[in-house]
Amino acid sequence: MLYFSKIKLSIIYFTIIILSFFSFTNFIENKENFFLSKKVNLGLDLQGGSYLLLEVDPSPIVNQNLQQKLISLRNYFKEKNIKYENLKLVNQSINFILKIEDIESFENFFLDKENSINTYFNQYRSYEMILSLDSGRVKITYSKYGLIEIKKSVVEQSLEIVRRRIDDIGTNDPTILRRGNDRIIVELPGLDDPNRIKKLLGKTANLTFRLVSENEDDFGSEFLFYEDGEAKLRVNKRVVLNGNNLISAQPNFNQQTNQTTVNISLDRAGSKKFARTTQDHVGQRLAIILDNKIISAPVINEPILSGNSSISGNFTSQTATDLALLLRSGALPAPLTVIEERTVGPDLGEDSIKAGAFSLIIGFLLVIIYMIYKYRKLGIVADLALIVNLILLLGILTILEATLTLPGIAGIILTVGMAVDANVLIFERIKEEMKKEASIIHAFDSGYKKAQSAVLDANITTLISALILFALGSGPVKGFAVTLGIGILTTLFSAYFFARHLCSIYAKKNKDNKILI
Amino acid sequence: MILKLSKDFKFSNNYKKMNIFSFLLIFLSILVLLFKGLNFGVDFKGGTLIEIRSENININIADIRQSLLKMNLGDINVKKFGNENDYLIKIEKTNTNDPNFIKSINEQLISDLNSPLNFRRVENVGPKVSRELLDAGFLAIALSLAAMLFYIWIRFEWQFSLGAIIAIIHDVIITVGIFSFLSYEINLSIVAAVLTIVGYSMNDTVVIFDRIRENLRKYTKVSISEISDISTHETLSRTIITSLTTLLALFSIYIFGGEILKGFSFAMIVGVIVGTYSSIFVATPVLNYTKVNYKTISKEDVENN
């Protein structure tokens, strides 16, 4: 156990040197060089920032899709000359009544893998929709996988819009990730007040232009409220123009009227539609509606042909800026809700770093002193191994560009306390062997050999805990699992390669000395 | 004290006494858990947690409560948090649909307390997420127990497995029981601590078991209770040194690591102490009760070869 081949030694020391280099790169500023720029990331709890978990609500999309399916069904029945009754949408399901003799053929059609209405997903081995029958009553709802597919596509689209909105606000290094089928994680380092972001993400930002109707007309109308929730207007259900026709939106302050507006320009198709509507309805009012609330409803004074217009309303410069931003980034397919929020102010983060670093130094010194007190010269070996261990740990964290959190720092401190265990196990064993063995070298050798199984067992058990924590933990706790887990690997390395080499040198030099420990 | 333990001290003579003591502790822990329950934090119960720092020294907990009560936020809990001017507010209600929820609390407090306030930390966990976190926490602890059981079962015989798992459950119940008794908050980091305790307790037990197995092979004629004593003595100084260095590190976190890590390090300190005790007085006695002898081990050797 005390013999090291030259190749082995060079690999050991080469690894240590490489990893020391990477732990060192944390302390220099260099963004260009690929190697020098590597750093351990600080978690939101240390650098301050905001974590938001958003969930999409797919129900509007589900209803919208069911509406389309309903139309397709109606067409199918007409084509096949099948009589149906009471075809309507109730509680996210399509319901209707068929004659008993038609049911079988409908079922055959609906559960045919190639049918045009109910898609079959090969990857799930499931249909998009489920059919349930109660004598002549038919009920069609989305299957589990049909819903998953909807959620997936909604999240995919939302992700893009969320990204645009957040980029537009201009925060530092935001992280925007999909999680599961219906969630989005947003991490905003350095942001201590996520209020504005939450507001901007909470709006679907569905913009429509619709004419105000004086009375009930043939296309149908509905009452909509203004944003203050009090005044209301009757507006036509026909949408003249929507947000998809927008190519840009900018806030604007008009010095003559002292009013803040949002200037918009429309694409070619939108300009045409807008020109036609404004020509035909001079003198009428056109309501500008965002998420079913009226922003304003100005009178059309003259036809607008250029495709450039402005939205007036009770804007402050902040609300105008935000509206312009929402319009530019496009509408979300479905509403998003914040279901978890964690925000840490930058000063608390700084305090946490200081407290963490201080307790690390204290813990480290206490352990170092105790080891020297306990084992004298071999204690120094254990302490050197501990220092190398920490350098290796930091180096690996840097190469992985892992995220260091406050619990992660706790994991490092805990590693300091537990890492010496490997050497303690070995030294205690060597002590025992010395009582039996005449030769120092033999005592060291068999000490290492016999301690091996205990060292391995002891560390693997902790590693199992760390792995499970890594798989199931979230956020800061995951950071703890990372440092604890990597700490165990570096502990084994430094005890079994580095410290063992130091011990072999020590034992060989002192082979005639009788009292070593 | 323990360091000067005589070489002839018979651990095995005290197994019965210590087991009664352990049973008592577990019994009390379960009683406390049943009647007092656990103080779940917002991670697991849902709700809003706000850490504030005030610049005005003259405000007190009652003022903060008074101000918040006006807002109809459900159950409110306010306490000092570390520093003189730092407070931790826990609110039952979470309002994830209203983006102005936190802002309105901020404004209300500032106007009522007449002091600039710094919201240092805000955690808002909806009921769905807290439920999921709780489930994940239980799953993690259950999985780690199963993994340990499996590992020990591969490495040793079933008697050892049984001893180790009883010791771990013993440690977890007592640690959680102490948290319940002291009404300390259970949050995500406590689950991390419990998992680490499981690993540590196992670690400590395995080292003694390893030695017992070795000694069973060496002294085939000696009874298991004597072998337990010899092995415990041989590994005792390692057990103590490692526990001490780990505790040194943990106390350093507990004292200097800031308020946020207090609960975590406290749980770990309790776990390390209980875990060290249980390796000697819970896990090892199980080997005596299940009458392990050298044949148990040699059977394993035959299988392995």
| Tens digits of residue pLDDT in A367-391 | 999 999 998 888 999 999 999 999 9
CA distance A96 to A87: 4
Calculate mean pLDDT across residues B185-201.
91
Query: Looking at the 3D structure of chain B, how many domains does it have?
Result: 2
Domain ranges, residue B121? 47-125
Calculate mean pLDDT across residues A219-245.
83
- Asked if the model's pLDDT at residue B305 lies above 50, the reply is no
**Do B155 and B263 share a structural domain?**
yes
Q: Using 50, 70 and 90 to split pLDDT, how confident is the model at A516? A: low
Q: Which residues contact B141 (CB under 8 A, 6 or more apart)?
A: B172, B191, B194, B195, B198
Query: Closest partner residue to B126 among A340, A355, A462, by Cβ?
Result: A340
- Residue that has been written with the tokens 């770093």 in this structure: A353
Interface with chain B: mutation pick from A51, A185, A318, A414, highest number of B CBs within 10 Å: A414
**Do A292 and A413 share a structural domain?**
no
Closest residue on chain A to B151 (Cα): A461
H or E element that contains A158:
helix A144-169
Provide the token pair at A491: 């502990």
Count Cβ atoms below 10 Å from residue B294 Cβ, excluding itself: 19
Helices and strands (H, E) in chain A, number of each type: 13, 21
**Do B20 and B98 share a structural domain?**
no
Calculate mean pLDDT across residues B251-270.
94
Last-in-domain residue among B94, B125, B156? B125
Interface with chain A: mutation pick from B81, B95, B252, B276, highest number of A CBs within 10 Å: B252
Percent of chain A with pLDDT over 90: 27
Report the DSSP beta bridge partners of residue B198: none
Last-in-domain residue among B84, B105, B125? B125
What CATH number is associated with residue A269? 3.30.1360.200
Looking at residue B299, its pLDDT comes to: 59
CA distances from A343 to A32, A43, A46, B125 (A): 31, 12, 11, 11
**Do B194 and B225 share a structural domain?**
yes
**Do B162 and B118 share a structural domain?**
no
Last-in-domain residue among A147, A164, A182? A147
Q: Is A432 on the interface with B (CB under 8 A)?
A: yes
Q: Is A370 on the interface with B (CB under 8 A)?
A: yes
- Asked if the model's pLDDT at residue B1 lies above 70, the reply is no
Q: Is B35 on the interface with A (CB under 8 A)?
A: no
For chains A and B, CB pairs below 8 A equal 218
Looking at residue B2, its pLDDT comes to: 46
Count Cβ atoms below 10 Å from residue B163 Cβ, excluding itself: 28
Last-in-domain residue among A341, A360, A382? A341
Residues belonging to chain B? 305
Question: Model confidence over A144-165: pLDDT tens digits?
Answer: 888 888 898 899 989 999 998 8
Looking at residue B301, its pLDDT comes to: 54
Looking at residue B254, its pLDDT comes to: 95
CA distances from A317 to A168, A253, A259 (A): 16, 8, 9
Q: Using 50, 70 and 90 to split pLDDT, how confident is the model at B275? A: very high
DSSP secondary structure letter of residue A402: P
CA nearest neighbour of A194 among B42, B104, B99, B47: B99
Provide the token pair at A166: 């957040």
Inspect the interface and report whether the beta carbons of A410 and B264 lie closer than 8 Å: yes
3-class SS string, A118-137? CCEECCCCEECEEEEEECCE
Inspect the interface and report whether the beta carbons of B123 and A343 lie closer than 8 Å: yes
Count Cβ atoms below 10 Å from residue A139 Cβ, excluding itself: 15
- Asked if the model's pLDDT at residue A500 lies above 80, the reply is yes
Q: Which amino acid is at A313?
A: G
Question: Model confidence over A465-479: pLDDT tens digits?
Answer: 899 989 988 778 888
Q: Using 50, 70 and 90 to split pLDDT, how confident is the model at A235? A: confident
- Asked if the model's pLDDT at residue B171 lies above 80, the reply is yes
CA distance A339 to A329: 23
Q: Which amino acid is at B21?
A: F
**Do A244 and A273 share a structural domain?**
yes
Calculate mean pLDDT across residues A206-212.
88
Question: Model confidence over B19-62: pLDDT tens digits?
Answer: 999 999 999 999 999 999 999 999 999 999 999 988 877 788 88
Calculate mean pLDDT across residues B187-213.
91
**Do B149 and B11 share a structural domain?**
yes
**Do B199 and B80 share a structural domain?**
no
Q: What is the pTM of this model?
A: 0.87
Count Cβ atoms below 10 Å from residue B14 Cβ, excluding itself: 14
Query: Looking at the 3D structure of chain A, how many domains does it have?
Result: 3
Mark residue A49 as left, alpha or beta (left: phi above 0; alpha: psi -120 to 50; beta: remaining).
left
- Asked if the model's pLDDT at residue B113 lies above 90, the reply is no
Looking at residue A517, its pLDDT comes to: 55
Question: Model confidence over B216-236: pLDDT tens digits?
Answer: 988 888 889 999 999 999 999
Query: Closest partner residue to A414 among B119, B122, B249, by Cβ?
Result: B249
CA–CA–CA angle A407, B148, B216 (5° rounding): 125
Looking at residue B220, its pLDDT comes to: 86
Contacts 24+ apart (CB under 8 A), A212-219: A212/A236, A212/A284, A212/A285, A212/A286, A212/A287, A212/A297
CA distance A219 to A236: 7
**Do B54 and B186 share a structural domain?**
no
**Do A250 and A305 share a structural domain?**
yes
Looking at residue A92, its pLDDT comes to: 86
DSSP secondary structure letter of residue B84: T
Q: How far is CA A65 from the centre of its chain?
A: 28
CA distance A85 to A108: 20
Count Cβ atoms below 10 Å from residue A124 Cβ, excluding itself: 14
Q: Does residue A172 lie in a domain region?
A: no
CA–CA–CA angle B280, B284, B288 (5° rounding): 140
Q: Are A434 and B190 contacting, i.e. CB atoms less than 8 angstroms apart?
A: no
Cβ neighbours of A459 in B, within 8 Å: 203
- Asked if the model's pLDDT at residue B130 lies above 80, the reply is yes
Domain ranges, residue A73? 59-147
CA nearest neighbour of A452 among A429, A485, A434: A429
Question: Model confidence over B233-253: pLDDT tens digits?
Answer: 999 999 999 999 999 999 999
Percent of chain B with pLDDT over 70: 94
Q: Which amino acid is at A395?
A: G
Provide the token pair at A408: 């992660």
**Do B109 and B140 share a structural domain?**
no
- Asked if the model's pLDDT at residue B116 lies above 60, the reply is yes
Provide the token pair at B167: 């010791």
Inspect the interface and report whether the beta carbons of A465 and B257 lie closer than 8 Å: no
Last-in-domain residue among B108, B125, B142? B125
Calculate mean pLDDT across residues A307-336.
86
Question: Model confidence over A20-62: pLDDT tens digits?
Answer: 999 988 888 777 777 778 888 899 999 999 999 999 988 888 8
CA distance A420 to A386: 7
**Do B112 and B174 share a structural domain?**
no
Report the DSSP beta bridge partners of residue B118: B53
DSSP string, A342-360: EEE-HHHHHHHHHHHHHHH
Interface pTM, i.e. ipTM? 0.89
